[in-house]
């Protein structure tokens, strides 16, 4: 009878093919690693957290997003754009409160403080993925330039989003005025309205072109980033520049003008439509020409040059 207490020899570790993987000089763990290397298929994990995308990739993404917007139903676009206009009332609220508190809001450090709170409403709009006119001045143009949408569809999109933003601005401004006993920004709204309307229309047009250029540039940079933090920083930078420069943003300016009208009986309503119309036109020019056309043009030209060089190499070989 065999002794039950006699130690048994360890079972050999083998691969799936039945070949032994352990030798006299190997430890059991090293044999297990060899078995794992034999039994499992190695894979390459591609990183997707790069800080910035390649310009070619940004353009393709911009075209894709633009096509999606062209294909959206009218009512969906309208509701989303109304929401964006209403959300921007928080920018008017913040800047109006600061203008009411500061002794000289348009000078020195007061100007920096107002500019530092100006972007917060835009951050909410962009991250909520609602439709803002100054964002679509460029995004909606890319599919037209790439022959994936027509000019009539572009005008339809601009008209719906612009109208919805203005309706939302009207609603938001009315709510700010109704709650002004709590907010206490009446004098601030009046100051902002005087700043917007105190310039000739041709000066307002150029200022609006610069603001539209910055907003469309911000939308382009957002498409080139991956993380929410980078997107927030991009939005903040471009809108801070708009704020510190006192540039004319059509939708935020509309909220400020209408809030001043609802809060102060001395504001002439009929002076508002021409100013708002010029701001819309300037923003549209700045976004569509200075960003959409130029970005599309230089990237497509680079791609064509690369294609020609590739064809030339093939022919020579």
Mark whether 117 and 31 lie in a shared domain. Answer: no
Q: Is the pLDDT of residue 156 over 90?
A: yes
Structure tokens at 43: 């894979």
Q: What is the pLDDT of residues 116-155, one digit of tens each?
A: 999 999 999 999 999 999 987 899 999 999 999 999 999 9
Residues 29-52, buried b or exposed e (16+ Cβ, 10 A)? eebeeebeeeeeeeeeeeeeeeee
Q: Is the pLDDT of residue 207 over 60?
A: yes
Mark whether 133 and 2 lie in a shared domain. Answer: no
Mark whether 162 and 76 lie in a shared domain. Answer: yes
Q: What is the pLDDT of residues 213-256, one digit of tens each?
A: 999 999 999 999 888 899 999 999 999 999 999 999 999 999 99
Q: Is the pLDDT of residue 47 over 80?
A: no
Q: Does residue 312 form part of some domain? A: no
Mark whether 29 and 65 lie in a shared domain. Answer: no
Residues 181-192, buried b or exposed e (16+ Cβ, 10 A)? eebebbebbbbb
Contact 231, 225 (CB under 8 A): yes
Q: What is the pLDDT of residue 19?
A: 58
Q: Does residue 317 form part of some domain? A: no
Q: Does residue 315 form part of some domain? A: no
**With the C-alpha atoms ordered 197, 210, 222, 298, is the resulting torsion angle positive or negative?**
positive
DSSP annotation of 288 reads I
Q: Is the pLDDT of residue 63 over 50?
A: yes
Structure tokens at 204: 């307002």
Q: What is the pLDDT of residues 174-186, one digit of tens each?
A: 999 999 999 999 9
Q: Is the pLDDT of residue 203 over 60?
A: yes
Mark whether 193 and 105 lie in a shared domain. Answer: yes
Query: Into how many domains does the chain fold?
Result: 2
Q: Does residue 242 form part of some domain? A: yes
Mark whether 176 and 265 lie in a shared domain. Answer: yes
What does the DSSP assignment read for 19-32?
-B---TTS-HHHHH
Nearest to 141 by CA among 286, 281, 288, 294: 288
Q: At 14, phi and psi to the nearest 5?
A: -125, 160
Contact 94, 117 (CB under 8 A): yes
Q: What is the pLDDT of residue 306?
A: 78
Q: Does residue 78 form part of some domain? A: yes
Q: What is the pLDDT of residue 287?
A: 95
Mark whether 173 and 32 lie in a shared domain. Answer: no
pTM over 0.85: no
What CATH number is given to the structural domain containing 264? 1.20.1080.10
Q: Does residue 80 form part of some domain? A: yes
Mark whether 144 and 292 lie in a shared domain. Answer: yes
Q: What is the pLDDT of residue 6?
A: 55
Mark whether 115 and 258 lie in a shared domain. Answer: yes
Q: What is the pLDDT of residue 135?
A: 83
Q: Does residue 39 form part of some domain? A: yes
Q: Does residue 148 form part of some domain? A: yes
Mark whether 7 and 126 lie in a shared domain. Answer: no
Mark whether 15 and 151 lie in a shared domain. Answer: no
The chain-wide mean pLDDT, for the chain, equals 87
Mark whether 115 and 190 lie in a shared domain. Answer: yes
Residues spanned by the domain of 261: 55-305
């Amino acid at each position: 009878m065999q002794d039950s207490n006699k130690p048994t020899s360890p079972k050999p570790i083998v691969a799936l093919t039945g070949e032994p993987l352990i030798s006299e000089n190997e430890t059991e763990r090293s044999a297990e690693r060899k078995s794992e290397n034999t039994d499992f298929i190695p894979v390459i994990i591609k990183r997707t957290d790069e800080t910035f995308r390649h310009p070619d990739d940004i353009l393709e993404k911009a075209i894709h997003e633009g096509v999606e917007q062209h294909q959206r139903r009218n009512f969906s676009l309208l509701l989303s754009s109304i929401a964006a206009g209403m959300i921007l009332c928080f920018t008017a609220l913040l800047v109006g409160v600061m203008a009411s508190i500061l002794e000289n809001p348009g000078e020195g450090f007061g100007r920096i403080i107002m500019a530092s709170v100006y972007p917060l409403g835009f951050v909410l709009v962009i991250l909520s993925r609602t439709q803002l006119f100054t964002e679509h001045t460029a995004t909606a143009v890319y599919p037209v330039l790439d022959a994936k949408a027509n000019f009539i569809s572009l005008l339809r999109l601009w008209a719906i989003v612009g109208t919805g933003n203005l309706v939302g601005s009207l609603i938001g401004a009315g709510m700010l005025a109704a709650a002004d006993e709590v907010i206490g920004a009446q004098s601030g709204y009046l100051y902002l309205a005087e700043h917007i309307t105190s310039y000739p229309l041709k000066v307002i047009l150029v200022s609006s072109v610069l603001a539209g250029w910055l907003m469309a540039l911000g939308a382009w940079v957002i498409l080139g980033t991956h993380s929410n933090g980078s997107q927030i920083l991009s939005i903040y930078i471009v809108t801070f520049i708009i704020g510190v420069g006192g540039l004319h943003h059509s939708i935020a300016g509309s909220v400020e003008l209408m809030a001043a009208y609802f809060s102060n009986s001395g504001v002439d309503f009929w002076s508002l439509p021409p100013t708002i119309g010029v701001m819309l036109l300037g923003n549209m020019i700045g976004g569509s020409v200075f960003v959409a056309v130029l970005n599309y043009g230089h990237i497509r030209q680079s791609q064509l040059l690369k294609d020609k060089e590739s064809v030339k190499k093939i022919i020579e070989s």
